[in-house]
Structure 1
Amino acid sequence: MTPKPNILVYSADQAEAYAECIRGYGFSSVKAASTLEEAKKYLPGTEVILGWKFPTQCLNEPIASSVRWFQSMGAGVDDLVSDTNIPENIILTRIVDQFGGYISEYVFTYLLYIVKDVPRMSKAQLENRWDPFISETLAGKTMGVAGLGSIGAEIVRKARAFDMNVHGLSFSGKQAQLVDRHFTSDKWKEFVKELDYLVLTLPLTEATHHVINRDVLLAMKPEAAIINVGRGALIDEGDLLAVMRSGHLQGAVLDVFETEPLPKDHPLWRMPNVYVTSHLSGPSTRDGVSRFFAENLKRFLNEQPLQGLVDRNRGY
């Protein structure tokens, strides 16, 4: 291994800015590419790629034979795991422990918006109408967090500050001690039946695709709400639409969708109790990603285990 690996940064609109950040950490052999042609130009001799929406078809070509490690700029890697263009010998890593703060604030922005009935307050102001009322409180409500990784754990921590009861569901059970009650992945209906709010932070795998379907949604309390900050395809959107049109569920906060951008004619845009945002709850910031990557580069050079290592069999 060379003392300083040859690095290629790929981003359609921020490649050079990211590259400059990486150079600031003392890594001088850094190239920036924002197009397929530039990627092909710089791939020969490249050992490490930091990328977002990288043209992975290049990785099966002889020009990419030196690539040993691909660091994604995001947390979700279901697209990379299923991509047959990426040779098995290339190590995959994802960003971890960077999104909990942002995403938990997003979740509680909407929970407070709903529980305090901010729309009613806003409407009264627009109508110059004095409208005192007693709103509900999050205290004593039960939140269920599906996925207890770093993001889920931070949501649980914030929920404790609001004196909420917290239930959790996870596949490994490693973080079961964080929650008041823990459920395994074969107990979805039992998990959701007592919840006031269900928050999804799970990765997308074969086991979690459309895990939230009609049966699970109908097992929830009619006045419950669902928040998805994980991956869009965790929810069967057709089932969600049908269930909510029937009057079941108080609301849905959706930051991720099966098709992104969400098509302009999609009925979710127009449903009054659905809150649609543009996959913005957990932004990958340039400084944060660069700092994470630089620390991982040091681990790579010292032949230490990398942070965010992806298990292809597990799917994340």
Structure 2
Amino acid sequence: MAVITFVSQLAQHEQAAWLALLSAKLPNEAIKLDKDLSIEQKLQCEIAIVANPDVDVLSQYPKLIWVQSLWAGVDALVSQLSHDKPAPSFKLVRLIDPILAQTMSEAVLTWVLYLHRDMPKYLQQQKSALWLQHRYLLPKERTLGVLGLGRLGKLSALRLHENGFNVLGWSQSEKLINGVQCYWGDEGLATMVKQTDILICLLPLTAATYHLINDDLLTKLPQGASIINFARGGIVANNDLIKYLANDHLEHAILDVFEHEPLDESHAFWSHEKITVLPHISAPTHFESAGEIVTNNIKKYRSNAQIPLYINWNKGY
């Protein structure tokens, strides 16, 4: 029986839970932790399942054909595997889960409504015992800009549109979405941002998107705009963000992702009155659903030798 390796730096109880789930769903496969494989087994292994792996460990598997990630976001893994060195010969498959997209769209709608209904202002007013009502805007009077129109971004944009908001979207290549005004390319980004009251980032982190939300972009946002980052921390230039919050050009920022996680206890974001800090909760992997998708990917591969949709090493997604 061929062996599938499970390479992970998760806590032992989490590794055990994933191993039990995957083994139960794939009774004809031998799925084992990397540490439990012999040298001979590692030399013959063709499939790996990974969750926060030590990438150096993967070099011990010369015959790897493809690697299945348990997470939807693989930008850090791509960077570690291909930065300043030739890309690996194996294919990297990220988790594509419809439930994940639904969960993300729910989070996007939740926090857009939080900003739309001025909750940060009312929270600050409560601390000062200040009774002050702010003018209500209809959703159609609020323009939202979604950065990234992949599976997560598209569903989130549609959900916002269904709730009556004026929704714009931007991607690096041309997209068409009913009810959403779509832009692409550098010129399209500038055009969209200038109209955006709430900017929602759902982009992958690549060389092209690193610090994309910087001084040049932030100055184009209308006075009083807000930002939601549910993508990756490296997309936002933190010093520029703080600058535009301090000069009141930006109203508020909701941050669920950071360049270093967990966010250090002494980090200034925790106490900043214009920043809402979330502990990377916008779209967590659903245990049972992810297990079903991963096992189906492996079953299909065994039946027809077709590798699931995989990452383009050059693009990073």
TM-score normalised per structure 2: 0.87
Which residues of 2 match residues 287-302 of structure 1 at below 5 A?
287-302=288-303
Equivalent in the alignment of 1:200: 201
CA contact (8 A) 1:116 1:137 kept: no
Answer whether contact 2:66 2:307 (CA < 8 A) is retained: no
Q: Is the 8 A contact 2:215 2:240 kept in 1?
A: yes
Residue in structure 2 matched with residue 221 of structure 1 by the alignment: 222
Opposite residue 69 of structure 2, the aligned amino acid is S
Q: Is the 8 A contact 2:204 2:231 kept in 1?
A: yes
Distance (whole Å) between structure 1 residues aligned to residue 284 and residue 75 of structure 2: 17
CA contact (8 A) 1:200 1:230 kept: yes
| Alpha carbons 1:51, 1:73 under 8 Å: kept | yes
The alpha-carbon distance between structure 1 residues 130 and 58, as it changes in their structure 2 partners (threshold 3 A), is closer
Partner amino acid, structure 2, of 1:222:
Q
> How far off its partner does 1:65 sit?
2.3
In the alignment, the residues of structure 2 paired with residue 289 and residue 313 of structure 1 have an alpha-carbon distance, to the nearest angstrom, of 26
Q: Identity of paired residues, percent? A: 28
Deviation at 1:294, TM superposition (A): 1.2
1:137-167 deviation digits (Å, cap 9, x = unpaired): 3233111111111100111121122111111
8 A contact 2:197–2:225 mirrored in 1: yes
The alpha carbon displacement at 1:217 in A equals 0.4
- Show the 5 A alignment for 1:102-181: 102-118=103-119, 135-173=136-174, 175-181=175-181
C-alpha contact (below 8 Å) 2:224/2:248 kept by paired residues = no
Which residue is equivalent to 1:83?
80
User: Residue in 2 aligned with 1:6?
Assistant: 3
How far 1:119 sits from its partner (Å)? 5.2
Counterpart of 1:69, as a letter, is W
2:71 aligned with 1:74: yes
Task: Decide whether aligned partners of structure 1 residues 134 and 293 sit closer, same or farther in structure 2, where only a CA change above 3 A counts.
Answer: same
* Structure 2 gaps, min length 5: none
Alignment-derived partner of residue 42 in structure 2: 43
Could you tell me how far apart the structure 2 residues matched to 1:123 and 1:248 are?
Answer: 18
Residue matched to 1:31: 31
Matches within 5 A, 1:262-301: 262-301=263-302
- Report the CA distance shift for 1:54/1:43 in structure 2 as closer, same or farther (over 3 A): farther
Q: What CA deviation, in whole Å up to 9, does each residue of 1:73-131 have, x standing for no partner?
A: 11222222223489622111001244211112112222222222335666888999987
| Aligned mates of 2:50, 2:69 — CA distance in 1 | 5
- Assess if the C-alpha contact under 8 Å between 1:59 and 1:87 holds in 2: no
Q: Which stretch has the larger CA shift, 19-28 or 140-149?
A: 19-28
SS in 1 for 2:168: strand
Q: Which has the higher helix share?
A: 2
2:185 aligned partner, one-letter code: S
Specify the code of the residue in structure 1 equivalent to 2:145: G
1:97·1:150 contact (CA, 8 Å) conserved in 2?
A: no
Q: Does the aligned pair in 2 maintain the 1:101–1:154 contact within 8 Å?
A: yes
- Distance (Å, rounded) in 1 between the aligned partners of 2:129 and 2:268: 32
Kindly indicate whether residue 48 of structure 2 is the aligned counterpart of residue 54 of structure 1.
no
Structure 1 residue runs of 5 or longer lacking an equivalent are: none
Contact kept, 8 Å, 2:146 with 2:199, in 1: the verdict is: yes
1:31: Cα distance to partner?
3.1
How far, CA to CA, are the matches of 1:249 and 1:128 in structure 2?
24
